[in-house]
C-alpha cells in the first residue's frame, strides 16, 4: 500500500515516514507539510491523464493553509476512488462527522500505536472504514443520538432501502468490514458488495464513510 502523508508536525511526519518506509506491505509514496502542495501534485497528475501513484492519503486536520476538512473534499473531487484517512488529535463528534461528510474514508486518533495504525489502514483493503475505538464509540453515540452532532429531530428516512440493505448499512455504521458483515448476516461477501452498491446508489454516496455519515445525519438506521 503506497501511502501519501500530509502532516505539518515535522517530528510526527518523520515518524510516519519511517513507519511506512519499513513496514511490510507499505511504502511511503509522498510526504507533505501542507495540503496545498499535495493537491497541486494530484491536479498535475490528473491533467496529464495519469492515475495517482498513491493507494491512500493519511491526512491531519489542523494544517497550515488549506484545512484537512477542505483538503479531504478537494482530494475526493479530484480522485473519488482514492481513500483518505484522517489522523488527528480531534475527537469531538462535530469534527468527526464533518470530516466523514467531507469524504474521509476513516478517522483515527494520533494516540493510536504504530501496529494499530497499520492494522487499521489494512482494513481499507477489506472494505472497512478505519476507526479507532474512541472514534467508533463516538460514531455509535451519534447513531443513538444524532442531535448530539447538531442534527434536528426528525423521523428516520429510509430512502427505499430494503430490510437487508438496512442490515448491511447498520453493520457498516458499526465499523464492520465486508467479511464481518457477511458473517454476521450469514450471507456471502459478494452479496454484501451487491447490497453496498445499491446503498451507494440510493444514498448518492461513493464510499463506506459517506454512507455511514449519511446514515447518522439522516437517521437511516
- pLDDT bracket for residue 152 (50, 70, 90): very low
Which of 22-36, 42-56, 90-104 is predicted with the least confidence, judged by mean pLDDT? 90-104
Residues 169 and 64 in one domain: no
Give the pLDDT mean for 169-198. 87
φ and ψ at residue 103, rounded to 5 degrees: 115, 0
Residues 84 and 135 in one domain: yes
Residues 172 and 73 in one domain: no
Domain contains 148: no
CATH number at residue 101: 3.40.50.2300
Residue 18 is part of which domain span? Answer: 2-143
Residues 129 and 200 in one domain: no
* Domains: count for the chain: 2
- Whether the CB-CB separation of 191 and 182 falls below 8 Å is answered with yes
- Whether the CB-CB separation of 103 and 76 falls below 8 Å is answered with yes
Q: What is the mean pLDDT of the chain?
A: 84
What is the rounded CA–CA span in Å between residue 102 and residue 61? Answer: 12
Q: Is the pLDDT of residue 119 over 70?
A: yes
Residue tagged 423521523 (cell numbers): 155
Higher pLDDT, 108 or 95: 108
Domain contains 22: yes
Domain contains 118: yes
Residues 37 and 132 in one domain: yes
pLDDT at residue 34 in the model: 96
Give the pLDDT mean for 198-210. 83
φ and ψ at residue 108, rounded to 5 degrees: -120, 150
pLDDT at residue 179 in the model: 86
What is the rounded CA–CA span in Å between residue 37 and residue 74? Answer: 12
For residue 113, how many other CB atoms are within 10 A of its CB? 8
- Rounded to the nearest angstrom, the gap between the alpha carbon of residue 208 and the centroid of all alpha carbons in its chain is 7
Is the pTM of the predicted complex or chain greater than 0.85?
no
CATH number at residue 164: 1.10.10.10
- pLDDT bracket for residue 158 (50, 70, 90): low
Amino acid at each position: 500500500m503506497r501511502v501519501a502523508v500530509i502532516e505539518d508536525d515535522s517530528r510526527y511526519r518523520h515518524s510516519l515516514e519511517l513507519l511506512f518506509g519499513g513496514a511490510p506491505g507499505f511504502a511511503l509514496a509522498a510526504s507533505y507539510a501542507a495540503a496545498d502542495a499535495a493537491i497541486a501534485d494530484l491536479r498535475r497528475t490528473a491533467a496529464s491523464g495519469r492515475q495517482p501513484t498513491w493507494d491512500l492519503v493519511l491526512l491531519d486536520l489542523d494544517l497550515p493553509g488549506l484545512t484537512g476538512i477542505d483538503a479531504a473534499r478537494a482530494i475526493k473531487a479530484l480522485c473519488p476512488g482514492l481513500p483518505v484517512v484522517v489522523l488527528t488529535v480531534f475527537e469531538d463528534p462535530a469534527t468527526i462527522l464533518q470530516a466523514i461528510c467531507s469524504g474521509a474514508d476513516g478517522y483515527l486518533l494520533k494516540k493510536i500505536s504504530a501496529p494499530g495504525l497499520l492494522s487499521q489502514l489494512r482494513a481499507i483493503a477489506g472494505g472497512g472504514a478505519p476507526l479507532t475505538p474512541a472514534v467508533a464509540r463516538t460514531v455509535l453515540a451519534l447513531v443513538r443520538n444524532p442531535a448530539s452532532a447538531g442534527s434536528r429531530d426528525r423521523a428516520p428516512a429510509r430512502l427505499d432501502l430494503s430490510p437487508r440493505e438496512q442490515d448491511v448499512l447498520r453493520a457498516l455504521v458499526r465499523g464492520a468490514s465486508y467479511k464481518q458483515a457477511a458473517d454476521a448476516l450469514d450471507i456471502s461477501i459478494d452479496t454484501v458488495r451487491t447490497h453496498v452498491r445499491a446503498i451507494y446508489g440510493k444514498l448518492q454516496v461513493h464510499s463506506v464513510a459517506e454512507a455511514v455519515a449519511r446514515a447518522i445525519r439522516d437517521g437511516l438506521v
